[in-house]
Amino acid sequence: MDRTGRCRGVGLGLRTVHYDHVLSHRPAVPWFEVISENYMGPRGGSGGRPLEILERVRRDYPVAMHGVSLSIGSADPLNEDYLKRLKALAGRIEPEIVSDHLCWTGRGGENLHDLLPLPYNEEAIGHVVSRVRKVQDFLGRRILMENVSSYLGYRHSEMPEWEFQAEIAQRADCGILLDVNNIHVSAINHNFDALDYLKGIPTGRVGQMHLAGYSEADGFLIDTHDHPVSDPVWKLYEAAIERFGPVPTLIEWDDKIPSFKRLQQEAARAQKIQNAISDPRKETAAAL
């Protein structure tokens, strides 16, 4: 099952500060990921200049669309207007991947613009599964659901997070976007073994991975996307590639964004890990 189309290797997030560089230099990047909402335009509007830029980028690169406001776990009804606009954007951009987060972002019509954790229990699984199915039917394609970094948990959770994510992917027949940094952040914040997380995820469902940097305060980690990928996350990524194979991977860097060259260096490191694990001979030859 090919869930990722032409997105291969290590891609980068398309961010406004790099628009000019990307359009004028056409850098060697295998694919770009965009935040879907940034190209849907304001309420009642259209995508405007950001969409014009994305369409130009799309002519030269495969694109993955990554959303932050699907709010798949909210107790509110699915936002039909949002879904229509998402579908329209996907129809226009023809992305290789469409993804969002396994979380809730609002309630009572109010949007908190955060990726809020769900309790890992049967009620939440049933709720999310039926909604993922509806979204996939509406969009006419499979979507990937990403694990979020979390800073709190619930006493009434009935299973570990990886079991929750795997169960939803299985029952809803959706893909998994495995955020390796988020696994590490949550593992530290909730005191579990990150490798247990990887072992609990079925290999056939992972269609994409994310790598990013975090901030630390008194032993607690916050997923800020404003640092390079940390050493423990690189190590975990190696384990993830060993288990899931050379899955398309994205370097996420959304705040204090460095030069494009610096992002490419980060991507090259991830690519080297993919090459070394999926084809160790290639890396040995390169080293000689």
Partner 1 sequence: MPSQTQEKKPPRLSELQDWLRWIFTEPRGIDAALEGAEKTLRRTEPKPRLLSWIADGPPIDVKHRLAVYADGYFMRLLDSLDSDFKTMRRALGETPFRQLVADYLKAHPSNSPNIGDVGEAFPSFIRSHDLNRHFPFLGDLATLEWSFLECLQATRLPPLDPVSLQKVNPEAWPSARLVLDPTVRLLDLEWPVHKLWKRRDLPETKGGRRLKRPSRQRLLLFRDDDWVNIHPIGTMEFLMLQELLKGRTLGEACLKLQNHDPKAATAELKSWFAGWTSSGVVKRVEFPKL
Binding site for partner 1 (CB under 8 A): 37-38, 40-43, 45-52, 69, 71, 73-75, 79, 82, 104-114, 116, 118-119, 121, 123-124, 127, 151-157, 188-191, 218-220, 222
State in angstroms the smallest separation of the CB of 248 from partner 1.
25
Nearer to partner 1, 68 or 276 (CB): 68
Nearer to partner 1, 62 or 117 (CB): 117
> Tokens at residue 179, please?
């955020």
State in angstroms the smallest separation of the CB of 34 from partner 1.
14
**Which is it for strands 104-107 and 97-101: parallel, antiparallel or unpaired?**
unpaired
Residue 240 CA to residue 203 CA, distance in Å, equals 10
State in angstroms the smallest separation of the CB of 104 from partner 1.
6
Radius of gyration of the chain (CA): 18
Torsion of Cα atoms, 44 then 100 then 20 then 251, to 10°:
170
Residue 121 CA to residue 2 CA, distance in Å, equals 30
State in angstroms the smallest separation of the CB of 148 from partner 1.
12
State in angstroms the smallest separation of the CB of 155 from partner 1.
5
Nearer to partner 1, 254 or 279 (CB): 254
State in angstroms the smallest separation of the CB of 105 from partner 1.
8
Nearer to partner 1, 48 or 204 (CB): 48
Nearer to partner 1, 84 or 199 (CB): 84
Nearer to partner 1, 29 or 103 (CB): 103
Angle at 74 between CA 86 and CA 252, to 5 degrees: 55
Q: Are 100 and 146 in contact (CB under 8 A)?
A: yes
Residue 227 CA to residue 186 CA, distance in Å, equals 17
Q: What backbone phi and psi angles, to 5 degrees, belong to 248?
A: -50, 135
